[in-house]
A and B are shown apart, each in its own frame.
Chain A
Amino acid sequence: EAGVAQSPRYKIIEKRQSVAFWCNPISGHATLYWYQQILGQGPKLLIQFQNNGVVDDSQLPKDRFSAERLKGVDSTLKIQPAKLEDSAVYLCASSFAPGGEFFGPGTRLTVL
């Protein structure tokens, strides 16, 4: 079974620039998550999709972050404009149902 795919693996940008991350979940997993993990902290849920509908985006900074999951399969997360505090690892995960998520390798973002 192929795992969760993410790209790019690393990204360095300057503040106020925009960036986009891509995720392809495990085949058949209806639930897809984007987490932000700052160094030394646990992952923080940004947005949760069930198929192509949003279940929870209460911690997504909507003035700068956006996410979509067209056709209920892969997903993109965008940041525009980026701030220094957005430097983190962005993890995509998927599962059949909430809990027990399988995580992708993550995208390490550095904002200078």
Chain B
Amino acid sequence: QKEVEQNSGPLSVPEGAIASLNCTYSDRVSQSFFWYRQYSGKSPELIMSIYSNGDKEDGRFTAQLNKASQYVSLLIRDSQPSDSATYLCAVNTGRGKLIFGQGTELSVKP
């Protein structure tokens, strides 16, 4: 079992729709969770962090964390073509090490 797993996609949504990206992790002692956006040919950029169960909203982005289910998600409301990118889930394990998933490619169609 991979430490951090994401649906590889690609996930295609129409402009204005809600995009839902999912991530599961295996280490129960993981403490903090991050979502990065990576445009093609560019380096990852941090867009959201979440540390406690529940929802965290920042503009059009909402991160959701359920530690009991070992599940993290990212919702993007009113998706725009500029949101088209690969989204990486990253988990900071109890050992202070950041483990990345393989990424989910999102395509927002005008």
> B-contacting residues of A (Cβ < 8 Å)?
33, 40-45, 48, 55-56, 91, 98-106
Contact = CB atoms under 8 A, between A and B. Distances in A.
Interface of B: 4, 32, 34, 42-46, 49, 88, 90, 92, 95-103
A38 B110 CA distance: 30
Nearest to A106: B43
B49 A100 contact: yes
A32 to B, nearest CB: 13
A56 B34 CA distance: 20
B43 A99 contact: no
Nearest to A4: B43
Chain B interface SS verdict (over half): strand
Contact of A43 (B42, B44, B49, B97): B44
CB-CB nearest 10 A-B residue pairs: A42-B100, A103-B43, A99-B92, A98-B96, A99-B32, A42-B102, A43-B100, A106-B43, A103-B44, A42-B103
B88 A99 contact: no
Given A48-B97, A101-B98, 15 more contacts: A41-B102, A42-B4, A42-B88, A42-B90, A56-B97, A91-B44, A98-B92, A98-B96, A98-B97, A98-B98, A99-B90, A100-B34, A100-B49, A103-B44, A105-B42
Given A42-B103, A48-B97, A101 B46 contact: yes
